[in-house]
């Protein structure tokens, strides 16, 4: 039996269907990233799980307890679900320690020791408890928010784009620290984000949302390498989509005959290649560099293929060819065939 089960959940706001027949499940201690653009339904799903919204249809079950559905709606404060918001939502008039202990009873035995333990658990010195939130960095504030959410021993942790306000370097280190902490504590976690790299690196499973629908659910590598549609492919990062003919076990396209994951013959198909699969050199299909944008460690390269199609990719700035250079283009690994039934 799954630890968390979301079954056929739907939610409408007037004429707008925010969620349509969404179903997913999670095992205890696992991490799920819900990815999608604004308006995809990911925040509505999070609010339904937290108890801030009620679903119109379907049900939500956590550790055997029905939280919503079947004429049941458990209030948010009785669900034992922790939530960390984008800005941390710390109380500015309270100290760090008072923020962490906000949900703990004042008369609780060992309350101060528990607060100190929680601060240390998220990598902060207990002495920081005396500070005000505005004396902390953005990453430290998010750790305090996480400690506050952990204080009441939640069964499920919800993270609503908690790293998006941090600068790039701090975002990466904070995300890794939070992921390690939650994994060590065995807490089932859902991260809502619009950042592809964040979703892929944080989670055991990735759910891609679009227009209120769950488009695909799977391991990060499976969803990235084998998206069910062009919409999912582009939601997870840069993707090169090419028309092709599948014959003789290969995809025949502007890049030549490529190995393909589905050799079923078809006269017209679309294939997907990730930019990191593209290799530039003396051999392969011909292309011309028409734009080269230096960005430090890498260059963004725009290639024009023989058929006129433009391809965007990144190359090391050390080896990136100059604008106007004619190069050979080859592909590492297999191209992925996009199935027509996957398009929305």
Residues 165, 7: contact at Cβ < 8 Å? no
Res 344 pLDDT > 50: no
pLDDT in tens, 64-87: 999 999 899 999 999 999 998 877
**Token couple for 300:** 């963004």
Residues 7, 169: contact at Cβ < 8 Å? no
Please tell me the distance from the alpha carbon of residue 5 to that of residue 57, in angstroms, as a whole number: 14
Could you tell me the pLDDT band of residue 140, with boundaries at 50, 70 and 90? Answer: confident
Distance from chain centroid for Cα 90: 24
Per CATH, the homologous superfamily of domain 239-342 is: Nucleic acid-binding proteins (2.40.50.140)
Please tell me the distance from the alpha carbon of residue 109 to that of residue 177, in angstroms, as a whole number: 29
DSSP 154-214: -SEEEEESTTTTS-HHHHHHHHHHHHHHHHHHT-EEEEEES-HHHHHHH-SEEEEEETTEE
Per CATH, the homologous superfamily of domain 4-234 is: P-loop containing nucleotide triphosphate hydrolases (3.40.50.300)
Between the CA atoms of 134, 139, 142 and 143, what dihedral angle is there, to the nearest 10 degrees? -110
Task: Break the chain into its structural domains and give their ranges.
Answer: 4-234, 239-342
Say what the pLDDT of residue 342 is: 42
Could you tell me the pLDDT band of residue 262, with boundaries at 50, 70 and 90? Answer: very high
* pTM for the full predicted model: 0.87
């Amino acid at each position: 039996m799954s630890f968390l089960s979301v079954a056929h959940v739907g939610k409408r706001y007037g004429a707008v269907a925010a969620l349509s027949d969404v179903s997913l499940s999670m095992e205890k201690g696992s991490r799920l990233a819900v990815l999608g653009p604004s308006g995809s339904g990911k925040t509505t799903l999070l609010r339904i799980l937290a108890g801030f919204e009620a679903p119109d249809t379907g049900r939500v079950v956590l550790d055997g307890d029905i939280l919503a559905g079947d004429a049941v709606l458990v209030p948010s404060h009785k669900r034992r679900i922790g939530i960390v918001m984008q800005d941390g939502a710390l109380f500015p008039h309270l100290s760090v320690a008072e923020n962490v202990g906000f949900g703990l009873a004042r008369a609780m035995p060992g309350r101060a020791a528990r607060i100190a333990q929680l601060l240390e658990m998220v990598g902060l010195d207990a002495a920081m408890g005396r500070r005000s939130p505005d004396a902390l960095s953005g990453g430290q504030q998010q750790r305090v928010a996480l400690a506050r959410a952990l204080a009441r021993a939640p069964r499920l942790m919800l993270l609503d784009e908690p790293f998006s306000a941090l600068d790039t370097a701090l975002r990466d280190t904070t995300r890794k620290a939070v992921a390690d902490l939650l994994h060590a504590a065995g807490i089932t976690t859902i991260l809502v984000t619009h950042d592809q790299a964040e979703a892929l690196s944080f989670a055991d499973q990735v759910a891609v949302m679009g227009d209120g629908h769950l488009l695909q659910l799977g391991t990060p590598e499976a969803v990235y390498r084998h998206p069910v549609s062009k919409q999912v492919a582009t939601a997870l990062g840069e993707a090169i989509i090419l028309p092709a003919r599948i014959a003789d076990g290969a995809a025949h396209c502007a890049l030549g005959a490529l190995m393909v994951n589905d050799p079923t013959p078809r006269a017209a198909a679309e294939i997907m290649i990730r930019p990191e699969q593209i290799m530039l050199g003396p051999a392969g299909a011909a292309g011309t560099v028409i734009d080269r944008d230096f960005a430090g460690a890498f260059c963004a390269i725009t290639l024009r293929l023989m058929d006129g199609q433009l391809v965007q990719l990144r190359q090391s700035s050390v080896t990136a060819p100059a604008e106007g250079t004619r190069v050979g283009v080859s592909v590492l690994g297999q191209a992925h065939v996009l199935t027509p039934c996957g398009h929305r």
